[in-house]
């Protein structure tokens, strides 16, 4: 008889541990346990069988890996948590004795400071790993940077988040690594490419935020503590990689006046006294590999001066090659294959830095200043002005400046200024200055969406489509690309049909088939199911018997080409082409005469007879189509019978999802048709 195993010593019961057991094992409180798990990146796990993993009669709800809890036993933060708990007891005793000054002294001098540097190094061994996990960090920090200061969210935390996010935006402006942006209901989405990693984050709109009581800010504050440390490390590495001093110097007076991005003064590492403003152009990015090779060669004791000059020349050549490198376009050899993904037009940092470089922008008061300033400077614009009431520091010019080429407005249409009066109509009391609700001749006025659509397209869009008061084009997500068969709002329905999308309904297809059948009938052919009159059949038999010639009636095979459908029904052996054309004309006249005789016998006109024939042909075409669809469905069912159960389920899910997508595309196309018809009627 084997040894009896004790319950809970093997299997799932050993691999998993409940939350209450983990808290007792670590000897900390539940809030501290949550903070520690957030810092270390340990999350609850779901066992396959909660009943087997639980050691009690009632299955628990939250489980963790036992190895993860064992790993937490050696965490240095546990000592900090215990010191905080001991300090809280001392403060509560001092307050109980009404010793407020002693309690304040204890809180000020004995509060332990927790550092998360070692956790950052443990969770992200390489810098690329930290960049991959930067999406949630940026979204959380930008959210807290726009929150109002309350008891749950102190002003110190908000100021720290604002400083870190502005420093990160300065790096994107300097390196032109911002790629795309999208205006959504939730906020503004941004995407940047840093060292080959695509980073996507969300920034809320600057509305008045109201924090509800149902939000647990303690959990969110724990994430903010971790993310601020992470972004501080990343900003330091990014700034030093392009030769800038970190942290940048902050002008407190300019920040109080609303300067935001202009409140930071960037300095180079070579000479920290020489300030580098955001409007200046610097070329601090060099090829890392060439620079490393140059440093190695120059470090050798026997290196010659000529070799050093060759290294510098090679370094300059590599930079020129990088500057003139164009993106490769990939073409498919098989025309029937799927289209290959092409590189993005905005993937080049140099191209992005020259998009708005020759322009001078002025932002009106109603336009969102900070997002527009950030995007314009990220894509090369160095001259951005705004109204002085929004913050005088950092503004390049005022609204009356003649150097302004584009003005961003978000208001109804602005009229042109009235023409000047003649000499005889001069009025001394008339104002000589332009009002703020009039346009300046020679200046381009656009709505803010023009900026976003331009950077997403990688090229300047037509400004007349975004004029003040105009109906804007649809603002589409740059990350969603329509596939074959999907609805593309940027193209008309006719262009989508020519691009390969068969935008033809069942009724329209039936009418097309009916027209083709009637054309075949006009050439002297008989349509199955349409011309089935006894008199016509007897007449054709008499013609065959009298002439002694074989007539081959047109079949209904789907493999016939359009040339065969429109060909002559009867093939005459031994007759030349001209004679066959003459016989074709005779057969067509006989067919028309036969239609007239049938219409007269039924008391109908020739037009009514053709309408009836069209209806019959349409019904026959519909029957053919349904028969072909039924045969295709039977073929699919036969193939499904040969599949395994797993592949069959997967195939059914694919068919279901494709059907849902087709339904959504048809609904959108139907709405598009209605809009186009209304536009045609109004025109």
User: Torsion over CA of 382, 387, 393 and 397, rounded to 10 degrees?
Assistant: 40
In the prediction, which pLDDT does 622 show?
75
Q: Do the Cβ atoms of 111 and 174 come closer than 8 Å?
A: no
Per the structure, the complete domain to which residue 295 belongs is given by 288-320
Same domain, yes or no, for 169 and 204? yes
Contact indicator for 182, 477 with CB cutoff of 8 Å: yes
Burial of 504 (0-12, 13-18, 19+ CB in 10 A): exposed
In a domain, 406, yes or no: yes
Which of 75, 105, 126 delimits the end of a domain?
A: 75
Residues 133, 267 within the same domain = yes
Is 461 inside a domain boundary?
yes
Q: Of 224, 244, 276, at which residue does a domain stop? A: 276
Residue 123 lies in a domain: yes
Q: Which pLDDT score, from 0 to 100, does residue 306 have?
A: 37
36 and 164 part of one domain: no
Do you find a cis peptide bond into 293, omega within 30 degrees of 0? no
Residue 463, pLDDT score? 92
Q: What is the mean pLDDT of each run of 10 residues along the chain (683 residues)?
A: 70 86 92 94 89 75 91 91 91 92 90 90 94 95 92 92 95 94 95 94 89 84 95 95 92 84 85 44 38 40 35 39 49 61 58 89 92 94 86 82 92 72 50 63 92 93 91 89 75 65 51 56 45 45 46 43 41 46 63 71 60 68 80 87 89 88 85 83 76
Euclidean distance between the first and final Cα of the chain, in Å? 95
Shared domain check, 607 and 529: yes
Per-residue pLDDT, 314:
35
- The reply to whether 498 falls in a domain is no
- Residue 601 and residue 593: Cα distance in Å, rounded? 12
Q: What is the pLDDT of residue 163?
A: 95
Residues 540 and 604 grouped into a single domain: yes
d(CA 110, CA 87): 7
Residues paired with 64 in a beta bridge: 17
667 to 93, 652, 672: CA distances (angstroms): 70, 23, 9
220 and 262 assigned to the same domain:
yes
Number of domains in the chain: 6
Helix axes 506-522, 606-641, angle to 10 degrees: 120
User: Domain check: are 521 and 619 in the same one?
Assistant: yes
Residues 123 and 45 in one domain: no
566 in a domain, yes or no? no
Query: Which residue, 480, 512, 534, sits at the end of a domain?
Result: 480
Answer whether residue 210 is part of any domain. Answer: yes
**H or E stretch at 25:** helix 19-26
DSSP-derived letter for residue 399 is T
Residue 392 is part of a domain; what is its CATH number? 3.40.50.10190
- CA dihedral defined by 141, 144, 146, 151, rounded to 10 degrees? -160
Within a domain: 563: no
Domain match, 161 and 218 both:
yes
- Looking at the fold, whether 630 and 682 belong to one and the same domain comes out as no
Q: Are residues 400 and 312 in the same domain?
A: no
User: Same domain, yes or no, for 42 and 143?
Assistant: no
CA 468 to chain centre: 26
Query: Residue 282 domain-assigned?
Result: no
Query: In degrees rounded to 5, what are phi and psi of residue 423?
Result: -65, -35
Instruction: Assign 643 to helix, strand or coil.
Output: coil
Compute the distance between CA of residue 235 and CA of residue 231 in angstroms, rounded to an integer: 6
* Nearest Cα residue to 486 out of 672, 677, 329, 342: 672
């Amino acid at each position: 008889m084997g040894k009896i195993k004790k319950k809970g010593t093997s299997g799932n019961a050993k691999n998993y541990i409940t939350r209450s057991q983990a808290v007792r094992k670590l000897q900390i409180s539940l809030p501290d346990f949550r903070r520690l798990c957030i810092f270390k990146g340990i999350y609850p796990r779901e066992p396959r069988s909660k009943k087997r993993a639980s050691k009690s009669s009632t299955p628990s709800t939250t489980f963790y890996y036992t190895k993860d809890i064992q790993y937490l036993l050696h965490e240095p933060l546990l000592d900090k948590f215990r010191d905080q708990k001991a300090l809280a007891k001392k403060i509560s005793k001092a307050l109980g004795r009404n010793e407020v000054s002693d309690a304040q002294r204890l809180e000020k001098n004995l509060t332990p400071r927790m550092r998360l540097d070692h956790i950052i190094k443990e969770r992200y061994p390489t810098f690329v790993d930290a960049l991959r996990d930067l999406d949630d960090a940026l979204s959380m920090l930008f959210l807290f940077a726009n929150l109002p200061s309350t008891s749950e969210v102190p002003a110190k935390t908000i100021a720290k988040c604002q400083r870190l996010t502005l420093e990160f935006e300065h790096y994107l402006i300097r390196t032109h690594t911002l790629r795309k942006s999208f205006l959504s209901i939730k906020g503004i989405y941004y995407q940047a490419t840093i060292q080959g990693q695509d980073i996507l984050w969300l920034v809320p709109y600057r509305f008045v935020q109201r924090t509800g009581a149902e939000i647990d800010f303690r959990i969110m504050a724990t994430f903010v503590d971790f993310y601020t440390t992470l972004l501080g490390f990343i900003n330091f590495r990014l700034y030093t990689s392009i030769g800038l001093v970190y942290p940048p110097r902050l002008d407190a007076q300019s920040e109080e006046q609303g300067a935001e991005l202009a409140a930071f003064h960037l300095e180079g590492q070579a000479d920290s006294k020489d300030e580098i403003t955001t409007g200046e152009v610097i070329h601090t990015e060099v090829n890392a590999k060439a620079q490393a090779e140059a440093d190695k060669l120059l470090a050798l004791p026997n290196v010659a001066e000529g070799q050093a000059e060759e290294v510098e020349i090679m370094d300059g050549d590599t930079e020129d090659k990088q500057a003139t490198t164009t993106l490769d376009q990939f073409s498919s050899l098989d025309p029937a294959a799927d289209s290959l993904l092409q590189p993005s037009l905005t993937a080049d940092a140099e191209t992005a830095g020259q998009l708005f470089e020759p322009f001078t922008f002025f932002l009106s008061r109603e336009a969102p200043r900070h997002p527009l300033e950030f995007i314009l400077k990220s894509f090369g614009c160095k001259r951005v002005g705004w109204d002085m009431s929004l913050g005088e520091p950092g503004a390049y010019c005022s609204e009356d400046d003649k150097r302004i080429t584009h003005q961003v407005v978000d208001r109804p249409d602005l009229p042109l200024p009235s023409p000047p009066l003649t000499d005889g109509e001069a009025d001394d009391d008339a104002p000589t200055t332009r009002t703020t609700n009039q346009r300046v001749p020679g200046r381009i006025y656009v709505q803010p969406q023009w900026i976003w659509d331009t950077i997403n397209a990688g090229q300047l869009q037509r400004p007349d489509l975004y004029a003040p008061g105009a109906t804007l084009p649809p603002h589409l997500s740059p990350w969603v690309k329509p596939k074959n068969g999907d609805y593309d709002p940027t193209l008309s329905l006719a262009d989508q049909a020519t691009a390969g999308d068969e935008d033809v309904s069942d009724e329209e297809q039936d009418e097309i088939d009916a027209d083709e059948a009637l054309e075949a009938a006009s050439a002297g052919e008989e349509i199955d199911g349409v011309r089935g009159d006894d008199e016509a059949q007897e007449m054709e038999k008499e013609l065959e018997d009298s002439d002694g010639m074989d007539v081959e009636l047109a079949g209904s095979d789907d493999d016939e080409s359009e040339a065969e459908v429109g060909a002559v029904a009867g093939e005459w052996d031994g007759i030349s082409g001209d004679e066959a054309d003459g016989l074709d004309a005779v057969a067509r006249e006989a067919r028309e005469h036969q239609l007239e005789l049938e219409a007269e016998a039924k008391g109908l006109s020739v037009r009514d007879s053709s309408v009836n024939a069209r209806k019959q042909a349409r019904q026959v075409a519909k029957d053919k189509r349904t028969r072909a669809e039924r045969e295709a469905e039977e073929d699919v069912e036969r193939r499904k019978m040969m599949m395994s159960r797993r592949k069959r389920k997967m195939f059914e899910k694919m068919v279901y999802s494709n059907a849902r997508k087709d339904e959504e595309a048809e609904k959108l196309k139907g709405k598009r048709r209605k809009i186009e018809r209304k536009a045609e009627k109004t025109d």
